[in-house]
Structure 1
Amino acid sequence: MHTGEDYAHPITAAWPARELRALHQGRERVLRAAEAMPRTLAHLDVWPTNLIADGDRTVLIDWAFTGDGALGEDIANLVADSVTDGLIDAALLPEIEEAATAGYLEGLRDGGWRGDPDLVRRAIAACGAAKYSWFGPAVLGRMIRGSKARNAYGRPLDDDAAELERLRGLVELIVRWASEAGEDPR
């Protein structure tokens, strides 16, 4: 865990330090909320490179991690992973989240599910916050230590300020997801 001293570092001025602390303090609540979500068969590795366009439909490949997951878990992963590696511009996060959630709800309805769409939204929020709550502090910690990172595709991340700005929206989304997760959703 990062200390208050870490959050006082000048580099954190660009990020929501208070919200990151609250995210850490609420992590047990978020984990409980994610664990309490209805269970379903899940892909458990949904990200842009596992989606292939095929005409007017999309095919999901690489089912190696398929197993028990929470409702919405795959969509939370898709939304966050769309921007973490720089595959898609992080400025598009609101559109990515909206489109992925709408598509997931449509797929659930097409499959015969008649549950509450707000439960699905809370499930996405809880699972996303539970899985990615480490992300903001990890990026800050790396930058505070002066470590130069590379993204998953080997490109150096030389400009800390640009990287912080690029990922700020994702951190804010994770913080929002944590606040929307609630406790036991059922």
Structure 2
Amino acid sequence: MMIDTITKKINQNIVAECVSKMVKSRVGSLQGFHIEPIKTISKNFITKGIYRIFNKTVVNHEEQAWSLILKIIHPENDEKNVPQHHNYWKREALVFQSNFLVDCPQNIRAPRCFAVEEKEDNSIWLYLEEMRGNHEPHWTEENLCFIAKELGKFQGAYAAGNKKLPDVPWICKAWLSSWVKGCQQYADHPSIYYEQIKDIPQIDHVFAAYEALNDKLEYHLARLKKCPQTVSHQDLSKQNIFVTKNNDDENQVAFIDWQFLSISALGEDLAKMFGVALSQGDIPLDKAKNYEEALFQAYIEGLAEAGWKGNIQLVRYAFCISIAARSFWEIPKIFKLLAYKTNDTELSRNIKQLFQIVNLQVSYAKETDELIHQLGF
């Protein structure tokens, strides 16, 4: 939407209520406000727009700056109106309307939601706290390990039984299954392009790995249900993670965008974070294995600190199959790019990087097969 359109549609009374909550003092009316769009690396299809609303107001005779985030969501299509779809459009609004985030382990922060407004056009407007924190140009191994350990402590609380898993119909209970089916629905099957590119070195190996993983998909998804279950965010890209300060001025992890909230296996969230970081260039490909080993160890340490004492191999299995499953999106993409390849230098570089990522995903599929035998699945 255009800024002018958004400004006209904003309920100023709701904004005033939000500001009152932020500054902890009753704000009768606002002397206007500013609004600007927020650009994201990859926007969810149900997200109609994200905006920052900000200005200053007088509190106890002193001028105080304030800001909040307006996130507008809409159904997009019928399939996303199904509560167990991985991208059920109302999920984040329902998360904030419930006490779910208040009852979560508090080592990981979430933004406060000041208001949820349902509009006549069937969209929902979320008025959220603007998170303050660090978004470094490149994640260091140290930063990622800190996040991974905190994630382990958060999820370990559920797996160890210290926190009860929520039982509500709008939290997805088969996230990876739904996501993979979405990939297969919207991405071309690689066989469409195979004949055109089959002479390219390693393509036959990648294609065979895709087919083998696809043949075993339902088996793997059923095995995931036998792994320890926990609350998962399922969208841990850099744009959704902040390192903030808590009340004691210590570093604290904060997650935004809880749209993909699910009950999933331990290790799935870590795999999503690692896999997306590779795809978005936030982890150097030549150091991918070093990062992965450090992240996994930090995550396991976090689980242990939370009191979880289960079989680490089950976590490793869920981690590996979740990374491997990303190939259901990446392999069709690279096959299509190779089929229509031009002499564009940048495109060639992107294809080379994507090929490295796909080969990594395939290697995790191989490790998954080895784990099946070790675990006696």
TM-score greater than 0.5 by the shorter chain: yes
Of 3-12 and 81-90, deviating more is 3-12
Of 19-28 and 97-106, deviating more is 19-28
| Cα distance in structure 2, aligned partners of 1:59 and 1:121 | 23
Deviation track 1:112-154 (CA, whole Å, cap 9, x = no partner) reads 0011222211110122223x13133222233144289xxxxxx
Residue 2 (structure 1) aligned with residue 199 (structure 2): no
| Cα distance in structure 2, aligned partners of 1:111 and 1:169 | 35
Report SS of the residue matched to 1:13.
coil
Deviation track 1:23-74 (CA, whole Å, cap 9, x = no partner) reads 3343333333334322111122112222323477451311513331111110
- Match of residue 133 from structure 1: 327
The question of whether the paired residues in 2 share the 8 Å contact of 1:48 and 1:82 is answered with yes
TM-score after normalising by structure 1: 0.76
| Cα distance in structure 1, aligned partners of 2:221 and 2:242 | 31
The 1:138/1:60 distance shift into structure 2, 3 A limit, reads farther
- Match of residue 179 from structure 2: none
- Match of residue 143 from structure 1: 337
Q: What is the Cα deviation at residue 170 of structure 1?
A: 2.0
The 1:106/1:171 distance shift into structure 2, 3 A limit, reads same
The 1:5/1:170 distance shift into structure 2, 3 A limit, reads closer
Deviation track 1:146-182 (CA, whole Å, cap 9, x = no partner) reads 289xxxxxxxx86343223212332122212222334
- Match of residue 352 from structure 2: 165
| Cα distance in structure 2, aligned partners of 1:70 and 1:92 | 26
The question of whether the paired residues in 1 share the 8 Å contact of 2:197 and 2:335 is answered with no
- Match of residue 78 from structure 2: none
- Match of residue 125 from structure 2: none
| Cα distance in structure 1, aligned partners of 2:338 and 2:294 | 35
Aligned length in residues: 177
| Cα distance in structure 2, aligned partners of 1:7 and 1:114 | 49
Larger relative helix fraction: 1
Report SS of the residue matched to 2:317.
helix
Residue 108 (structure 1) aligned with residue 295 (structure 2): no
TM-score after normalising by structure 2: 0.41
Q: Which amino acid counterpart does residue 181 of structure 1 have in structure 2?
A: T
The 1:144/1:63 distance shift into structure 2, 3 A limit, reads closer
Could you tell me which of 286, 291, 316 is aligned with 1:91?
286
- Match of residue 120 from structure 1: 315
- Match of residue 37 from structure 1: 227
The 1:181/1:114 distance shift into structure 2, 3 A limit, reads same
- Match of residue 13 from structure 1: 201
- Match of residue 152 from structure 1: none
Report SS of the residue matched to 2:194.
helix
| Cα distance in structure 2, aligned partners of 1:36 and 1:83 | 28
Of 72-81 and 52-61, deviating more is 52-61
The question of whether the paired residues in 2 share the 8 Å contact of 1:129 and 1:175 is answered with yes
The question of whether the paired residues in 2 share the 8 Å contact of 1:30 and 1:181 is answered with no
The question of whether the paired residues in 2 share the 8 Å contact of 1:52 and 1:59 is answered with yes
Residue 60 (structure 1) aligned with residue 248 (structure 2): no
Report SS of the residue matched to 1:113.
coil
The question of whether the paired residues in 2 share the 8 Å contact of 1:34 and 1:70 is answered with yes
Larger radius of gyration: 2
Structure with greater contact order relative to length (CA < 8 Å, sep ≥ 6): 1
Residue 47 (structure 1) aligned with residue 237 (structure 2): yes
The question of whether the paired residues in 1 share the 8 Å contact of 2:196 and 2:339 is answered with no
Identity score, percent: 23
| Cα distance in structure 2, aligned partners of 1:23 and 1:179 | 9
| Cα distance in structure 1, aligned partners of 2:201 and 2:295 | 31
| Cα distance in structure 2, aligned partners of 1:168 and 1:2 | 14
